[in-house]
Amino acid sequence: MGLTPEQQRLDIISEAIGRLLKKQDELEQRIARLEGKAAIPKPAAPVMEPVPVVAEPVSRATPEPEPATLFPKPTSPSAPPPKKPALETKVGLTVVNRVGVITLVLGVAFFFKWAVDNDWIGPAGRVILGVLAAFATLAVADFLWRKGQQIFAQGVTGTGIGILFLSIYAAFGFYHLIPQALAFVCMVAAAALAVALALRYRSQAIAALGLFGGYVTPVLLSSGEDLPWFLFSYLLLLNACAVLLAKRRNWRGLEILSFAATLVLYGGWLVNTFTKPQDQFVGTLALAVFYGLYWPSSLQPLFLVAQLLAPSALAAIWGGSQAAFFTLALLVSAAGLARAHWRPHPAALSVTFAAFWISYGIWTNHLPAEFWGVSLAFLLFFAYSVLWPSASVEGLALLVVNGAVYYSVCYWLLETQHHNWLGLLAVVVAAAYLALGAYRYRRQPMEQPEMRPTMLALGAALCFLTLAIPIQFTGFAISMAWSLEAAAVTWIGVRLRSVKAVWSALAMFALVLVRLVSIDAWMYANATSYANSQSYPLLWNARFLTFAVAAAGLFLAARWAARSLRLVALIEYFGGHAVLLWGLSMEAIGWAEKTTPAENLLSVETVAISILFAAYAAILVSMGVAARSAMNRIAGLALIALVIAKLYLFDIWQLGRIYRISAFVVLGILLIATSFLYSRFRGLVEGWWKDDEASS
């Protein structure tokens, strides 16, 4: 028979009471253990009065209090958490200490100079006193360190090391008491002593001081003789020490110091000393070793700088050999791509790509360019897009820019003697992008397809196929037609609410820009003499018409794209101003070539460009005030800042007196007029900003 509701209720209450009693026993046992550990006398047991049982269900969700909350465990007062030093003490201990070290070393140097001028102490005595003072300072520093004043002792140690370096150099450079070899050994020993003390005192600053002394030793003791094997071996030894300390002790500043010193010493040798062909091998070997040393660095900026400069150094070394340059530069680029894949960084691909083409531009100053070399470069970066596809912005940009740059360079190479092959080359590049798009489409997963690389490759193929036909019939009408077509695609994309169409139009404008840079801007490149410059009229000519139509297309596209994609609209709007200002600048230069004798040509061109930029900036500010456009006003002010910088950093040093006066007077009038606009409409402008802030 089943239990009655009253019996069930009593059973539940009984179970709850049993659990409570069990918990009470456990708590008492825990309390007894805690009291035993803390030696607390046990209190008398309280008299327990019977508690009447209330026939109500006990909630099982009542949380059990933790014993640690009722009886907190006493903490040891001997181990307080470490506190970070306050700003005042940090400045007082560290900054003031470091500045004091530098000041004291300079004071010692001034004292030596004073003693020399007054002939108080002989040369040998001065050096001996300096060495003794250095070691005495180091001894005091060690005493202070053992007494617990670690930070102060580090500064005193730096003072001793500085005095020691100064004394050794004085013995060689000022007084000629010791030969070069002995001075080198002594300075290296001083650097090693500094590193040893840095390890003892756990001070990165002392290690940096010692390494810095080691790096400046070849410069201070140089006799002008070219010894690249010795220089680079010594530099490699210092770099290995710095990198090892940086990794073992996490002193990343030493790695930065070694990298900077390598740039200075290697770059100085390459610029000032490298003249003999037999130095090509040692220069290349040293470059490869130094590049390999910093290639795996966890400090990404070091790798980026090394990747950017290494191909340019190869271009300088192998300027007379196309096979050596292309082979080595492509190997360095392949290493950069591997690093970009192994340890991704937002700028690794861009820097690697830009580094090769910058070095190519440097190398072409020595020899005529070759088609096969740039083709191998295109295939290398194209293979990266195939093997390690990336949907990031940088990966997608590399996919498109690679083909655009390659075809632009090939157009420059082949346009004169092999123009008929340019259309076929465009078809070949388009076929490569088409194959890549089909390959990516087949390889992408069906559950989460990533269509951007595929669509971008197919779009690039379409662009090159479109390019193949008109490129066979060169003419400025192609750029104008593309500009208007891109504007029309933007309008259609906005009407259909297709973001991809708007971005495709921006890509078409990029092709227009490539054509403007590579072809249309050089339409009258041979008009350098007065007679040739008469062959086209000012403003009313094919070149300026091309730039004006391209700018108009950008302005129209920006107006329409502003409704959906403001970023694209901003790019197109400022691109339109840049193209228009570019075209006007070329017209100003052409006007100067027509009307100015050769001896005054540079001055007239400089003044004309400065006045043109200032007038354009004033127009932008006026448009911004008239149309309540903060973007135009800010752009105008930025352009004015550029003109002022050009005026004071370049024009003032290059122009003749009459042209300098003209430039300053005219630009001053334009700047005052711009300032008057802000003075006249200051209230309106400030009110517009307040309205914009309130609405946002």
pLDDT in tens, 391-403: 678 888 888 899 9
Average pLDDT, the chain: 77
Integer distance in angstroms from the first to the last C-alpha of the chain?
Answer: 75
C-alpha R_g of the chain: 38
Measured between alpha carbons, how far is 165 from 130 in angstroms, rounded to an integer?
9
Of 562, 590, 564, 563, nearest to 576 by C-alpha is: 562
Q: Is 441 exposed, middle or buried (0-12, 13-18, 19+ CB in 10 A)?
A: middle
CA 628 to chain CA centroid, nearest Å: 36
Q: How much is the pLDDT for 429?
A: 92
pLDDT above 60 for 69: no
Average pLDDT over residues 374-383: 93
Please compute the mean of the pLDDT values over residues 63-86 and round it to a whole number.
45
Q: What is the pLDDT of residues 222-274, one digit of tens each?
A: 877 888 888 999 999 999 999 999 988 889 999 999 999 999 999 999 888 88
Q: Secondary structure of 436-486 in the HEC alphabet?
A: HHHHHHHHCCCCCCCCHHHHHHHHHHHHHHHHHHHHCCCCCHHHHHHHHHH
Give me the pLDDT at residue 657, please.
56
Higher pLDDT, 623 or 513: 513
**C-alpha span between 228 and 356 (Å, rounded):** 26
Q: How many CA atoms lie within 13 A of 470 on its CB side?
A: 14
pLDDT at 672: 64
Of the listed ranges 79-83, 108-112, 286-290, 489-493, the least confidently predicted one is: 79-83
* 381-393 mean pLDDT: 83
The most confident of 18-32, 92-106, 194-208, 609-623, by mean pLDDT:
194-208
Q: Point out the least confidently predicted range of 140-149, 211-220, 408-417, 449-458.
A: 449-458
Contacts 24+ apart (CB under 8 A), 319-324: 319/362, 319/363, 319/365, 319/366, 319/367, 320/366, 320/367, 322/363, 322/367, 322/370, 322/373
d(CA 75, CA 71): 12
Residues sharing a CB contact under 8 Å with residue 319, sequence separation 6 or more, in sequence order: 325, 362, 363, 365, 366, 367
Three-state secondary structure of 410-423: HHHHHCCCCHHHHH
Q: CA-CA distance, 609 to 587, in Å (whole number)?
A: 10
Three-state SS annotation for 489-501: HHHHHHHHCCHHH
Read off the tokens for 468. Answer: 């193949």
- The answer to whether residue 78 scores a pLDDT higher than 60 is no
pLDDT at 290: 94
Q: What is the pLDDT of residue 284?
A: 93
- The CA distance from 76 to 62, in Å, is 33
Is the pLDDT score of 416 beyond 60? yes
With beta carbons less than 8 A apart as the criterion, state whether 377 and 327 touch: no
Confidence bin at 452 (pLDDT 50/70/90):
confident
> Higher-confidence residue: 97 or 378?
378
Quote the CA–CA distance of 287 and 501 in Å, as a whole number.
Answer: 46
* CA atoms in the 13 A half-sphere facing the CB of 110: 6
Please, which pLDDT band fits residue 53 given cuts at 50, 70 and 90?
very low
Query: Does residue 9 surpass a pLDDT of 50?
Result: yes
pLDDT class for 614, splitting at 50, 70, 90?
Answer: confident
% of the chain beyond a pLDDT of 90: 17
Grade residue 525 by pLDDT with cuts at 50, 70 and 90: low
Q: Picking from 32-46, 60-74, 575-589, 661-675, which range would have the lowest pLDDT averaged per residue?
A: 60-74
**Mean pLDDT confidence for 494-512:** 80
The string of pLDDT tens digits covering residues 639-693 is 777 777 766 666 565 655 565 566 556 666 666 666 655 555 555 554 544 454 4
Taking 50 as the threshold, does the pLDDT of residue 1 lie above it? no
DSSP 251-262: -HHHHHHHHHHH
One-letter amino acid at 211 equals: L
Which pLDDT band, with edges at 50, 70 and 90, does 337 fall under?
very high
Where does the pLDDT of residue 36 fall: very low under 50, low under 70, confident under 90, or very high at 90 and above? low
Instruction: Measure the CA–CA gap between 197 and 220, rounded to whole angstroms.
Output: 23
Residue with tokens 């179970």: 15
Residue 352 has pLDDT above 50, yes or no: yes
Q: Mean per-residue pLDDT for 309-316?
A: 93
How sure is the predictor about 502, in pLDDT bands with cuts at 50, 70 and 90?
confident
From the list 266, 252, 177, 281, the residue with the least C-alpha distance to 215 is 266
Mean pLDDT lowest for which of 91-100, 514-523, 556-565?
Answer: 91-100
Residue of 210, 216, 208, 180 whose CA lies nearest to 194: 210
pLDDT of residue 354 exceeding 90: yes
Cα(567)–Cα(584) distance, rounded to whole angstroms? 26
613 pLDDT above the threshold of 70: yes
Could you tell me if 344 and 389 are in contact, meaning their C-beta atoms sit under 8 angstroms apart?
no
Rounded to the nearest 10 degrees, the angle between the axes of helix 422-443 and helix 452-471 is 160
Tell whether the model's pLDDT for residue 61 goes beyond 50.
no
